[in-house]
Amino acid sequence: MYAQFIKELIDLPDVLIQKVRKEEERWIFELSLPEQCPLCPVCLKRTIKMTGKKKQWMHGYAQRIGIFWVELPVERRRCGTCGMTFSTSDPGISPRSVATDAFQQWVAHSCIGTSIQAVARMLKLPYTTVERWFYTHAPSFLSNDIQPKAVCVDEFAFRKGHDYGVAIMDAETGEVYALEAGKNEEAIGRVLAPVSDSVQYVVSDLAPAMKKAIQGVCPEAKHVVDYFHVIQLFTEALDRCRKSFGKGNKKHGHVRYVCRLLTQRPEKLTEEERQTVREWQKESDSLQAVYQSLQHFRYVSKSQNERQAKRRLNAWVHRYLFCPCSAVRAIAKSLVKRTDEIISCMLSPYSNGKMEGTNNKIKLMKRRGYGYRNIQRFALRVRLETANILS
């Protein structure tokens, strides 16, 4: 039973366990290969054994004993036909490496969800060695078959205010497919190119570069504007109207000034102060107009089909396109330019909410790695963290 457990722990085919020994703090499993005669890799003829020696490889890790090693014979063989000389051992082990492929893949898999430095400290291995194994084997964990139905596209910051990038994510599974540096139309086109054949819905914000890139790379896909960014037009208009009240550079702000004008009798106010109060009335009317347009648009967004959505949106535009409030007119003009995207936003079940949450994950990965100088390695790390490989 003990030998069977060791065989399952070692997980190497066609090997025989000779014995187990301990050298200082290293546990070593001595294995023997079955009788074999490897063929020449050039002419595929029989070879002759020249010399033989034993070599050790790191092959596994256990919590109590640490890294355990396997010891296998390495033969130097020569082809009698073409004279080719080569080294041979178990097919799953490279004679020139210090660890088996299975151990390297396990180490690379352990780095997902944590830092490479933490794994290197746990295994007491050089950081550069663990890093090389990770970037060698980690790409094999990802699937190359990328055919999403709906994707989300959004920008994120490498350095706030300096360097930006664009990420594309599956709207259903939450897996990030690609990252590109920059946030212009060319960068968005590059990130959309791998999924342009299969994608049917593309969700993004109201940026003009997004619309141009989607129309150029995915002309047959429906462009869906995120509902949050549409409502953001109204909230920003409300902020602009509120900020218009904040006039005055006094020590205590304009609070005391406003309170005095509102509590005084009208006949005690000067003509200039009365004009100020009249302007406040106009601003309050603007606030009310923005609120009314927002509530009306929320009613419009509850449409059941495309025909009903177009009819309600056209009615909203005709009602507020010539509104006395300039902020409401600006919102109406923005929606007129994006009529098709707004209708898709009303009818589509997709949104950019997952992408906004993933942007926070990307920011945390960047901080955990203390920044990345290589965009390809950073993209690989983000893909591994969002691909649900650990589950």
What is the per-residue pLDDT across 329-343, written as a single tens digit (0 to 9) for each? 888 888 888 888 888
Q: What is the pLDDT along the chain (391 residues), one digit of tens a residue?
A: 445 555 555 665 556 677 788 877 788 888 777 667 778 878 888 888 888 788 888 888 877 778 888 888 888 888 888 888 877 777 667 777 888 888 899 999 998 888 888 999 999 899 999 999 999 998 888 887 788 889 999 888 877 777 888 889 988 888 888 888 888 889 899 989 888 888 899 998 888 888 899 888 888 888 988 888 888 888 887 777 666 655 544 444 566 776 677 667 777 888 888 887 777 666 666 667 777 787 888 777 777 788 888 888 888 888 888 887 778 888 888 888 888 888 888 888 888 888 888 888 888 888 877 777 788 888 888 888 888 765 5
pTM: 0.72
What is the rounded CA–CA span in Å between residue 210 and residue 203? 10
Q: Is 128 exposed, middle or buried (0-12, 13-18, 19+ CB in 10 A)?
A: exposed
- Segment 36-83, tens digit of pLDDT: 777 887 888 888 888 878 888 888 887 777 888 888 888 888 888 888
Instruction: Go through the domains of the chain in sequence order and give each one's CATH number.
Output: 2-140 (no CATH), 150-225+351-386 (3.30.420.10), 229-347 (no CATH)
Query: Is the sign of the CA dihedral 186, 188, 191, 194 positive or negative?
Result: negative
With the CA atoms of 50, 56, 60 and 64 taken in that order, what torsion angle do they form, in degrees rounded to the nearest 10? Answer: 150
